[in-house]
Amino acid sequence: MAHEVRGVVAREVGAPVSLETVLVPDPGPEEVLVRVQACGVCHTDLHYREGGINNEFPFLLGHEAAGTVEAVGAGVSNVAAGDYVVLAWRAPCGTCRSCRRGRPWYCFDSRNAAQPMTLADGTRLAPALGIGAFAELTLVAAGQAVKIDRRARPEAAGLIGCGIMAGFGAAVNTGEVTRGDSVAVIGCGGVGNAAIAGAVIAGARLVIGVDVDPRKLEWARHFGASHTINSRETDPVQAIRDLTDGFGADLVVEAVGRPETYRQAFDARDLAGRLVQVGVPTPEMMIELPLIELFGRGGSLKSSWYGDCLPSRDFPLLIDLYLQGKLDLDGFVTETIGIGEVEEAFHKMERGEVLRSVVVLTSG
Ligand SMILES: [Zn+2]
Ligand SMILES: [Zn+2]
């Protein structure tokens, strides 16, 4: 039996999203049906709507969600009906060449639900990042549902499913921040601020937030940046060197995804320093670097996919940090909105007015 619910759908490139009737099947083998309680509005949802991800319209948007397991299909053992979960867009398969080598956080064949969710006329929907959670119910692969502590409120908890995990993991998992490190984060939106919070928790002695927007620098200070640099007014490379005895930072996290900011990150590292790129570029962007410096500076240049996270390991950890008051997930929730207000939330996001608008699903 298919369940009839409301969902936020992007029908064509650039067109405003619309609230549509969505048919969600009962879970088949290895699938889980989740009643969504809250879902954050992320830049990636907007990228889908703009055709920046792929052309598989129509999309069912939404992917930073917390909710309750409504039903599970055959063979599901990691969660049961009634469990409180956060949805992940990485569900390691266990059998790809990366999983088999013991690196499931890179899994090259992540699982999604096998059955499609559709519009009322049967048109197949492509769920954003294999989730599709701006809907009252959604269908995911069992491994995408990660059980967490019920005391974490859904508006805050759902956000660890994407942007916060990506930023936190970029600093802590990919960047391997350790006690005494100096860390600079370029781009202080949701992902960048999560990287700042992660660096602080991991013991960095200096955390520098860089952005062109004073409001974002204020958020950076809130999440623990010891220093902030407005790169519209000041050369960030020089300013980072000035704050690190002239040397540069041990780790620079690039959370913008542009050639200019990548170059800043490259130049702002100390010798043997690390650069982690977590900002997502577009296909036409190119970068040119002096090969002698690439060699001569040593260290590492890495990219971070989803914070190199293992959701089943890292989601409960982030929720524990939240419940202990060490990770301010509530601070990322700028506002809560209804399911019909996603289009307006995109505009607020584009204007830089919010870290996250979070859709709260109210109807049962
Ligand atoms: Zn795999
Ligand atoms: Zn996202």
Neighbour tally for 217: CB within 10 Å: 20
Angstrom distances, CA of residue 12 to CA of 60, 113, 281, 349: 12, 23, 22, 20
Tens of pLDDT, residue by residue over 91-100, are 999 999 999 9
**36, 129 in Cβ contact below 8 A?**
no
Q: Is the pLDDT of residue 264 over 80?
A: yes
Residue 101 catalytic? no
Q: What is the mean pLDDT of residues 135-144?
A: 98
Angstrom distances, CA of residue 279 to CA of 44, 69, 257: 11, 32, 4
pLDDT at 336: 98
Report CA(122)–ligand 2 centroid distance (Å).
27
Residue 63 catalytic? yes
Task: Given the residues 44, 118, 138, 334, select the one marked as catalytic.
Answer: 44
pLDDT at 184: 98
Q: What is the mean pLDDT of residues 96-125?
A: 97
Residue 215 catalytic? no
Report CA(91)–ligand 1 centroid distance (Å).
8
Q: Is the pLDDT of residue 362 over 50?
A: yes
pLDDT at 283: 86
d(CA 91, CA 145): 8
Report CA(205)–ligand 1 centroid distance (Å).
36
| Phi, then psi, of 344 in degrees rounded to 5 | -65, -35
Buried-state track 159-170, b at ≥16 Cβ within 10 A, e below 16 = bbbbbbbbbbbb
Tens of pLDDT, residue by residue over 163-175, are 999 999 999 999 9
pLDDT at 214: 97
Q: What is the CATH number assigned to the segment(s) 2-163+308-360?
A: 3.90.180.10
Mean pLDDT of the chain: 97
Task: Given the residues 3, 49, 90, 111, select the one marked as catalytic.
Answer: 111
H helices within 87-149, ranges in order? 97-100
Query: What tokens appear for 241 in the block?
Result: 């060197």
Domain chopping of the chain, boundaries:
2-163+308-360, 176-303
| Phi, then psi, of 83 in degrees rounded to 5 | -65, 150
- Predicted confidence band of residue 364 (pLDDT cuts 50, 70, 90): very low
Query: What tokens appear for 249 in the block?
Result: 């930072």
pTM as predicted? 0.96
pLDDT at 363: 53
d(CA 62, CA 202): 30
**Ligand closest to CA 307:** 2
Residue 153 catalytic? no
Q: What is the CATH number assigned to the segment(s) 176-303?
A: 3.40.50.720
Tens of pLDDT, residue by residue over 195-246, are 999 999 999 999 999 999 999 999 999 999 999 999 999 999 999 999 999 9
Q: Could you list which residues have their CB under 5 Å from ion ligand 1?
A: 92-93, 96, 99, 107, 109
Residue 43 catalytic? yes
Q: What percent of the chain has pLDDT over 70?
A: 99
Query: What tokens appear for 270 in the block?
Result: 């100390």
Would strands 2-10 and 18-25 be described as parallel, antiparallel, or unpaired? antiparallel
- Predicted confidence band of residue 274 (pLDDT cuts 50, 70, 90): very high
Residue 188 catalytic? no
pLDDT at 1: 77
Q: What is the mean pLDDT of residues 97-123?
A: 97
pLDDT at 296: 96
Tens of pLDDT, residue by residue over 174-203, are 999 999 999 999 999 999 999 999 999 999
Residue 356 catalytic? yes
